[in-house]
Every structure is written in structure tokens, then in C-alpha cells.
Amino acid sequence: MYFSTLRIVTLLAVFITMACVSHSQADVNNTQLVNKAGMQRMLSQQIAKAYFYSGSEIYSKEAGLQRDMALYRFEKNHTLLKENVRDIETRDLLSIVDSTFSEYTALVKKPYKENATRVLELSETLLEVCHSVVQNIQEFTGANIDHIINVSGKQRMLSQRVAKNYIAYQAGFRDEGTVQKLNDSVQDFEAGLNKLIGEKRNNGEIKSLLLKIKKEWDRVSPYFLKVRKGGLSIMVLTATDEITKLSDRVTGLYVDTITTK
């Protein structure tokens, strides 16, 4: 099991690195910009999830690697957004991201017990601001950004948000708010997956990936809702990381299909 998990995390790290350099900054168009902004939502959750796994001493070395890769990827995407976004309102939001991410980065590298509460709070704040950035880019670019990219991109975030709230609950944040956020994320993911599966423009590759996502989700999702029983942290980690990876591939295919029309 250890080597299987290590392989998954290592492959995810490689995937993240490849995704970081998939488009040169000079070639970013509005559709790709929405995708990059959408990735920030996922990364805001992945950083906290990895932090809680590491702090809980569950595959702490691998979780630490994932945290560092997510921090690197977030910063790289943030630089790209600042270089390409022109409207004042969105740039103001990116300034808020700057300050929030700066505190967030410092905290997730400090001792776990003293900072876990604040990390959880900042993961919510950063997610909220990053989501507003996505919405603003769609509104202010003046382009008809296909809604399916946002739906697909959001699935990446939701899978990581499920894992974050699951491990946070196991780590001691056992209030009903944590459980509600977990349940809401599960419901939102399932609604998004159904919408993507029903998309008439799906090609064979997208259909195949969505089928894999559904199969993996159906296998593990019943256990997400049994968070109070605990004991499944490893399975949640590996399953949600696989779902995130597959969802990112689907989103990239939507971006490529729409960009090359």
C-alpha cells in the first residue's frame, strides 16, 4: 500500500510540474486564463489538505512534497494572472490574494499544532477570493468563455476540498461546520459530474476520463459521508488525488477543444 500511494503522489507531482509549463505566458488566451485562475481554487484546498495530512503524520513525507509543489504551482499561476489581467477590479482581488497567500505560505511551513486553526481559516479565505477572480475574468474579458470549463475546473477544487475537510475532522476539527462543508462539497461534485457526463460535445477521450472519475467516485464517496467513523484517511487521500488528476485532464481537453475551434 505504501509504495502504491508513493507512486500516486510522485506521479501527481510530475503532473503538476508539467501543468505548470504547459503554456507559455505569451500564449495565454482568455480561456486558458480562466483555467489557470480556476486551478488556484483547487490549489488553495490542496495546500491545506497536504498540511493536515503531514501534521497528522499520515504519509507526512509525501504530503509535505505535495504541499511544496502546490505552493510552487500557486505562485507560478498567480504571477501569470498578474501579468495578463488588465481590469482594475480583478487586479485589486489579486492584491488580496498576494497578502493572503503570503501569510498562508508562512503558516503551512510552521509547526502544525499552533497554526492549524489559522491555516484552515486562510484556506477558506483564499478559496473565496480565487473564486471571485475566476468570475471577474469571465466577466471582464469580454469574451464568451465556455461555462463547461468553469464547471470542469471546479471539480478539481471540490475533490481536494472533500479531502481537506475529511482530514481536518479527523485531526480534531469535529464541529458540524466541517461536516457540512464536506457534505456540500460531495453534493456539488456529484452535480458537476452529472453535468459533465451529459455534455453533448464530449469526445471519446473525455467520455473515457469521465467514466474513470465516476467509477472512482462511486467507489469512495459513500465513505466521505461516514467521516464521523474515521479510519479511512489513506483511502480518501489516494482517491481524491486520482480524481483531481483525472478532472484536470478533462478540463485541459475542454480548453484545448474550445481554443482550437
* pLDDT of res. 20: 42
Cell of 145: 468563455
Q: Compute φ and ψ for 230, nearest 5 degrees.
A: 70, -165
* pLDDT of res. 14: 44
* pLDDT of res. 113: 83
Distance CA 34, CA 186 (A): 23
Rounded to the nearest 10°, the torsion over CA 3, 165, 40, 190 is 90
* pLDDT of res. 164: 97
pTM score, two decimals?
0.87
* pLDDT of res. 228: 83
Distance CA 41, CA 54 (A): 21
Q: Decide if 8 contacts 241 (C-beta within 8 A).
A: yes
* pLDDT of res. 144: 52
Distance CA 122, CA 211 (A): 34
Residue spans of the chain under pLDDT 70: 1-27, 141-145, 258-261
* pLDDT of res. 145: 59
* pLDDT of res. 223: 87
